């Protein structure tokens, strides 16, 4: 299965909300889902051109006196159908490179003095994750504050997306704690037990 350029879908998704310029798209990304998605001008502008040639979007130059002219793209029917198809495709988030786990795999707890290093590793990792978690919780709080709709009309999808990151972070923190305990036990056991 080939790697597919997802910038296309991000753009389609935003244009499906409303016609926008490349600049708008970038702004929207930064503002609305910076914690789990990123786009750069270097990807957006060339992709928009490509998408126009593929008939996924329509182009319209907006001439504004005074202000610089903007190129507004809108999604076509073809673009919409491609977008909805993508939306319903189950996402396989390939984690081919998880640095944290790789590091762990290289640690060797059989050697006595290494255990301290490994426990230190976990503590440091935990601190990084905790910091992220605090950040997410802060944002969750902010959203609830400035969007009273969430109370009367249920929670927003922005919050739901954020809660995935929150749930994952919490799971990771717990995993760090459990792992430290497991390594501690390993240590005490090898003292009066056997050593390979």
Q: By CB under 7 A, name the binding residues for DNA.
A: 1-7, 21-24, 27, 38-43, 45-46, 48-49, 66-71, 96-97
Q: Is 170 in the site for a copy of itself (CB under 8 A)?
A: yes
**Min dist. Cβ of residue 166 to DNA (A):** 22
Which of DNA, a copy of itself, none sits in contact with 141, Cβ below 5 to 8 A by type?
none
Q: How far apart are the C-alpha atoms of 107 and 122, rounded to whole Å?
A: 11
Q: How far apart are the C-alpha atoms of 128 and 99, rounded to whole Å?
A: 13
Q: How far apart are the C-alpha atoms of 62 and 85, rounded to whole Å?
A: 30
Which of DNA, a copy of itself, none sits in contact with 58, Cβ below 5 to 8 A by type?
none
Q: Which of 137, 139, 143, 186 binds a copy of itself (CB under 8 A)?
A: 186
For residue 62, the cross-strand partners are 70
14 class by beta-carbon count within 10 Å (0-12 exposed, 13-18 middle, 19+ buried): buried
Q: Is 70 in the site for a copy of itself (CB under 8 A)?
A: no
Binding to a copy of itself (CB under 8 A): which residues in 96-155? 96-109, 117-118, 120-121, 124-125, 127-128, 149, 152-155
First to last CA, the chain: 43
């Amino acid at each position: 299965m080939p790697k597919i350029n997802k910038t296309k879908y991000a753009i389609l998704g935003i244009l499906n909300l409303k016609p926008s310029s490349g600049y708008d798209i970038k702004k929207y990304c930064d503002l609305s889902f910076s914690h789990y998605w990123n786009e750069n001008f270097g990807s957006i502008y060339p992709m928009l051109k490509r998408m126009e040639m593929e008939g996924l979007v329509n182009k319209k130059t907006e001439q504004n006196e005074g202000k610089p002219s903007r190129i507004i793209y809108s999604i076509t029917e073809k673009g919409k159908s491609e977008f909805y198809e993508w939306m319903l495709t189950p996402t396989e988030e390939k984690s081919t490179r998880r640095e944290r786990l790789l590091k762990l795999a290289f640690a060797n707890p059989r050697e006595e003095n290494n255990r301290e290093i490994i426990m230190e590793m976990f503590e440091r990792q935990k601190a990084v994750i905790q910091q992220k978690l605090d950040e997410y919780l802060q944002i969750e709080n902010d959203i609830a504050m400035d969007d009273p709709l969430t109370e009367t009309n249920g929670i927003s999808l922005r919050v739901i997306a954020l809660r995935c990151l929150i749930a994952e972070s919490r799971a990771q923190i717990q995993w760090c704690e459990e792992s430290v305990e497991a390594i501690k036990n390993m240590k005490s056991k090898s003292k009066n037990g056997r050593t390979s």
